[in-house]
Amino acid sequence: MLDRKPSAEADPITFAVVKNALDAIVDEVAYTVIRTARSEIVKDVMDYSAAICDARGEMVAQAKTIAQHLGAIPEAMAAVQARWAGRLVPGDAVIMNDPYLGGMHLPDIFMFYPVFAGDEILAWVVVICHHTDVGGRVPGSNAADSTEIYQEGLRIPPLKFFAAGVADEALEALIGLNVRVPDRVLGDLRAQYAACKVGAREIHRLAGRYGDDGLRDYFDALLDYAERMARAEIATWPKGTFRFTDHIDSDGLSDAPVPLSVAITVEGDHLTVDWSGSSPQVRAAINSTLSFTKSNAFLSVRCALRGEIPNNAGIFRAITVTAPEASVLNPRSPAAVAARALTGYRVMDTMFGALAQIVPDLIPAAGEGGNTVVALGGRHPDNSPFIMVDMISGCWGGRPDQDGIEAITNPSQNLSNTPVEVLERQHPVRVEQYALVPDSGGAGRFRGGLGLARSYRLLADEAVLQLRSDRLIFAPYGLDGGEPGGRSANWLGEGDAQRSLPGKVTMTLRAGEILLHHQAGGGGHGDAWSRDPAAVAHDIWNGKVSAAAAREHYGVVADPLTGRLDMAATDTLRMTPKRTEEP
Answer yes or no: is 313 within a domain.
no
From residue 559, give the alpha-carbon distance in Å to each of 240, 532, 533, 538, 566: 49, 16, 12, 10, 8
Say if strands 372-379 and 462-468 run parallel, antiparallel, or are unpaired.
antiparallel
pTM of the model as a whole: 0.94
Alpha-carbon distance of 274 to 60, in angstroms, equals: 26
The alpha carbons of the chain give a radius of gyration, in whole angstroms, of 24
Say if CB 428 and CB 422 are below 8 A apart.
Answer: no
Q: What is the DSSP string of 360-372?
A: TTT-PPP-SSS-E
Q: Let me know: does 333 contact 415? Beta carbons within 8 Å.
A: no
Judge whether 482 lies within some domain: yes
Residue 503 in contact with residue 470, Cβ under 8 Å?
Answer: yes
The confidence score (pLDDT) of residue 497 equals 83
Residue 478 CA from chain centroid, whole number: 21
Specify if 106 maps to a domain: yes
Q: Of the candidates 204, 223, 242, which is a domain's last residue?
A: 223
Helix 12-36 and helix 182-210, axial crossing angle in degrees, nearest 10: 160
- The answer to whether 555 and 536 have CB atoms below 8 angstroms apart is no
Q: What is the 3-state secondary structure (H, E, C) of 41-83?
A: HHHCCCCEEEEEEECCCCEEEECCCCHHHHCCHHHHHHHHHHH
Contact 270, 292 (CB under 8 A): no
Which of 207, 223, 239 is the C-terminal boundary of a domain?
223
Range of the domain at 368: 364-531
In a domain, residue 285? The reply is no
The answer to whether residue 307 is domain-embedded is no
Peptide bond into 238 cis (omega under 30): no
Contacts for 138 with CB less than 8 Å, ≥ 6 apart: 146, 375, 377, 464, 466, 506
Question: β-strand 319-322 against 270-274: which pairing, if any?
Answer: parallel
Domain C-terminal end among 501, 531, 561: 531
Q: Which of 302, 304, 296 is nearest to 344 (CA)?
A: 296
- Determine the Cα–Cα distance for residues 550 and 533; give it in Å rounded to an integer: 9
Helices 212-234, 182-210: axis angle to 10 degrees equals 100
Round to whole Å and give the CA distance between 537 and 14: 52
* 260, part of any domain: no
Is residue 548 within 8 A of residue 466, CB to CB? The reply is no
- The answer to the question of residue 284 being in a domain is no
Per-residue pLDDT of the chain (583 residues; tens, 9 = 90+): 344 444 445 688 999 999 999 999 999 999 999 999 999 999 999 999 999 999 999 999 999 888 888 888 999 999 999 999 999 999 999 999 999 999 999 999 999 999 999 999 999 999 999 999 999 999 999 999 999 999 999 999 999 999 999 999 999 999 999 999 999 999 999 999 999 999 999 999 999 999 999 999 999 999 999 999 999 999 999 999 999 999 999 999 999 999 999 999 999 999 999 999 999 999 999 999 999 999 999 999 999 998 789 999 999 999 999 999 999 999 999 999 999 999 999 999 999 999 999 999 999 999 999 999 999 999 999 999 999 999 999 899 999 999 999 999 888 888 889 999 999 999 999 999 999 999 999 999 999 999 999 999 999 999 999 999 999 999 999 999 999 999 999 999 977 789 999 999 999 999 999 999 999 999 999 999 999 999 999 999 999 999 999 999 999 999 999 989 999 998 888 887 765 554 3
What is the signed CA dihedral for 315, 320, 324, 328, rounded to 10 degrees? Answer: -20
Are the C-beta atoms of residues 569 and 537 closer than 8 Å to each other? no
Query: Is 232 within a domain?
Result: no
Q: What's the CA gap between 338 and 287, in Å, rounded?
A: 8
Handedness of CA 560, 563, 569, 571 (dihedral sign): positive
The pLDDT value given to residue 306: 84
Query: Domain count of the chain?
Result: 2
**Complete DSSP assignment for 532-561:** -HHHHHHHHHTTSS-HHHIIIII---B-TT
Whose CA is closest to 33, among 198, 195, 196?
195
